[in-house]
Chains A and B, each alone.
Chain A
Amino acid sequence: MSAAEEVVTEAAAVEAVPKRAMTLGYGTSLVVLAALILTPLFVKNFIIFQMTMLLIYGLAVLALNILTGGSGQFSLGQSAFYAVGAYTSAILMEHAGMNYALTLPVAGLICFGFGFLFGQPALRLSGVYLALATFALATAMPQLLKLGYFEHWTGGVQGLVVTKPDAPFGLPMSQDMWLYYFTLAITIAIYIASVNLLRSRSGRAFMAIRDNEIAASAMGVDVALYKTLAFGVSAGITGVAGGLGAIAVQFVAPDGYTITLAISLFLGMVVGGVGWLPGSIVGSAFIIFVPNIAEGISKGLSGAVFGVLLFLVIFLVPHGARQVAIIAQQLIGKLKKN
């Protein structure tokens, strides 16, 4: 291969993150978990809805984190997988009358297949070229959803309205609260599975590819297989997040899944810390709440204010929430010594 490509690959390579640094300690995890479980009992339904969206976008950012932080591949096309997941759930619920919970694995599987297939041609590309190829996917998706051929199922530009599920077994809970706990359970399951995946043999293969592709293949890692697999897993999780998103928002339309969403997810990953899975939630909080804060500061210049805030974050803590967490840990360590 040409020297130019190698240079690009090197420049774009993600900094090696040791796998132990990818997760939180047990104590911290439990505190976060307790906060996530208890908070909804004391807040308004609107806040619960926002927390549900936080978890859903958190899942989508986590998926991207596995792809980029784990296997070192870039994607600006996550919105496409998210859209496929959302539409799969919505169509199965509204046209086939399927139970909402059952649509999620289907959405995940379809997106896994979609991502795995997309991973095949993507194998030939790396770094910025791969980012551009996935970018193309994200730009094409809203228009594909508008196509007349699929209109019978997708509702075309009008979109599809999804019915929100009630709490089962007559639980005395609002729809929002039930959906939140439902999402939380799925999020925790996927989070634990992702952590285990990255700690497993496959995870080590992902990271070997990320750190040095040639060395990885010399050690016997099937580079092509693991690269496409990473794409598939990432797309699958994004698909589940998309399905949950459709149920929470109760509506799918092509305008909801534009390139802006893909960029937001990418942003969330960088702000949360590339390769640091717990950062996904922080990144997700950033993309949900910071635009609102920016709007609160200035309506006409909300975009500019958002830009300034983002710039500050990248400038002050270039490694995102991970860096903040490490600093906090060091501070606590110092306090303990004193």
Chain B
Amino acid sequence: MPAIGLRLGAFSAALALLAATVTPSAAQKKYDVGASDSEIKVGNIMPYSGAASAYGVIGKTEEAYFRKINAEGGINGRKLTFISYDDAYTPPKTVEQARRLVESDEVLLIFNSLGTPPNSAIQKYMNQKKVPQLFVATGATKWNDPKEFPWTMGWQPNYQSESIIYAKYILKNHPNARIAVLYQNDDYGKDYLKGFKDGLGAEAASLIVAEDSYEVTEPTIDSHIVRLKASGADVFFNITTPKFAAQAIKKNAELGWKPLHFLNNVSSSIGSVIKPAGFENAQDIISSQYLKDPTDPQWKTDAGMIAWNQFLDKYYPEANRADAFVMFAYTVAQGLVHVLKACGDDLTRENVMKQAASIRDLELGGLLPGIKVNTSATDFAPLSQLQLIKFKGETWERFGEILSGDVGG
């Protein structure tokens, strides 16, 4: 019966059409709170005021980068709304701001919140609420713990993996070293020290001949250097923040103490550490890097660096280009954009974590050649590679291969 057949055909064609138009888009477009067809809300917490306000530049750079992304059409057609609050680096305030972002502003995720104590304060809350606490801005090792905290992920190479790399280098090249360690007496310093001792393993007790710590409130660390020199050490591991690192390099030169000097990556900036300390005093210092140092002349014609400069010219012209945090923020903001792009139209919190945990060999313009972002369901440490560098003349010389020191929380 042709009439019925025709009708049936028309009906099924209509059904097919309906299925083609409705079902796929309904299946693909999924949103959690904080995302819609036109917008993705991203929260952030930074110390814009208070003692740690130097880090505030990270939030400002990220805001500028997202403005650039929006000006260029957004992420899969959606604008990024970046809501950044000040916590003055005080954990109780961080909790208040995190709750404001999640419960009042209803963001999709909190991105790159800064500092170990502030992030520790909100980690449990974020995981209870199942809101991504993505790419936190701290080098502590504990953020790589997907089993306990599946909603928290770090970003930069953690302190412990870095010092393990130095320890391995010392064991291989200077097995009879007499090591002196200077560290800042806080979570950051102690994390480095722990990694270093773990890296040296059983030899730690015999190799380390002197250990000294300073408080971040001390005006100068000269007396500590004098004490460490007196120990007769021939290797010096310098776990200090930029101001103190410059002091230590200078004081070493004044005292004529010339140990094999390892400087933590936190203070490897030429502009803010080496130059003030004096190029001649910094020769042969060994450190490690994963980001390109904008003050290093070797990157002048590098494509990634040129793109970075163009971005700053247009969207953040007042930025201090010698500030390593600007490069840091630029790179991590690119990381977030990569994850959100990968999410496609499935902007649920679960998919954000899933995409963040499946980054494969992502290369970003600010990273050293050969260093790649990698994550998996069991590896929540996106960056874990570093390259050793030695200071020669007025620039860092990279040597050896790209090293990895993955450590879990």
Contact = CB atoms under 8 A, between A and B. Distances in A.
B185 to A, nearest CB: 7
B49 A159 contact: no
Given A53-B96, A146-B185, A161 B124 contact: yes
Contacts, number: 86
Interface stretch (A11-19, A44-52, A199-207): A44-52
Nearest to B128: A164
B92 A161 contact: no
A46 B100 contact: yes
B187 A157 contact: yes
B215 interface: yes
B254 to A, nearest CB: 29
Nearest to A151: B190
A139 to B, nearest CB: 9
Interface of A: 44-47, 49-50, 53, 143, 146, 156-159, 161, 245, 249-256, 258, 260-261, 288, 291, 295, 299-300, 302-303
Interface in B180-198: 185-187, 190
A158 B116 contact: yes
B266 interface: no
A255 B100 contact: no
A49 B98 CA distance: 12
Interface stretch (B27-35, B82-90, B256-264): B82-90
Nearest to A245: B92
A251 B49 contact: no
Given A159-B91, A299-B86, A253 B104 contact: no
Contact of A157 (B86, B96, B123, B190): B190
B48 A251 contact: no
Interface in B88-110: 88-92, 95-96, 99-100, 102-104
A297 to B, nearest CB: 12
Interface residues of B, number: 32
List the 10 closest pairs (A to B, CB-CB), nearest first: A46-B103, A251-B121, A157-B187, A253-B117, A256-B91, A249-B92, A255-B117, A157-B186, A46-B99, A249-B95
B125 interface: yes
B120 A299 contact: no
Nearest to A47: B104
A146 B186 contact: yes
A79 to B, nearest CB: 11
A20 B254 CA distance: 69
Contacts of B185: 146
Given A53-B96, A258-B90, A159 B117 contact: yes
Given A253-B117, A299-B48, A158 B187 contact: yes
A299 B87 CA distance: 12
Contacts of A252: 91
Contacts of A46: 99-100, 102-104
Contacts of B88: 260
B120 A161 contact: yes
A300 B90 CA distance: 18
Given A253-B117, A256-B91, A260-B50, A49 B125 contact: no
Nearest to A252: B91
Contacts of B92: 53, 245, 249, 251, 256
Nearest to B50: A260
A251 B84 contact: no
A44 B121 CA distance: 21
B120 A302 contact: no
B91 A158 contact: no
Interface string B117-145: 11011111100000000000000000000
Given A44-B104, A146-B185, A302-B49, A251 B91 contact: yes
A158 B120 contact: yes
Contact of A159 (B99, B120, B215): B120
A161 B116 CA distance: 13
10 contacts: A46-B99, A46-B103, A146-B186, A158-B116, A251-B121, A251-B122, A253-B120, A256-B91, A299-B86, A302-B86
A47 B103 CA distance: 9
Contacts of B99: 45-46, 49
Nearest to B99: A46
A47 B215 CA distance: 38
Given A44-B104, A143-B215, A157-B187, A253 B121 contact: yes
Interface centre among A249, A252, A261 (most CB of B within 10 A): A249
B171 to A, nearest CB: 27
Interface centre among A156, A252, A291, A295 (most CB of B within 10 A): A295
A305 to B, nearest CB: 11
A18 B103 CA distance: 44
Contacts of B85: 295
A238 to B, nearest CB: 15
Contacts of B215: 143
Contacts of B125: 250
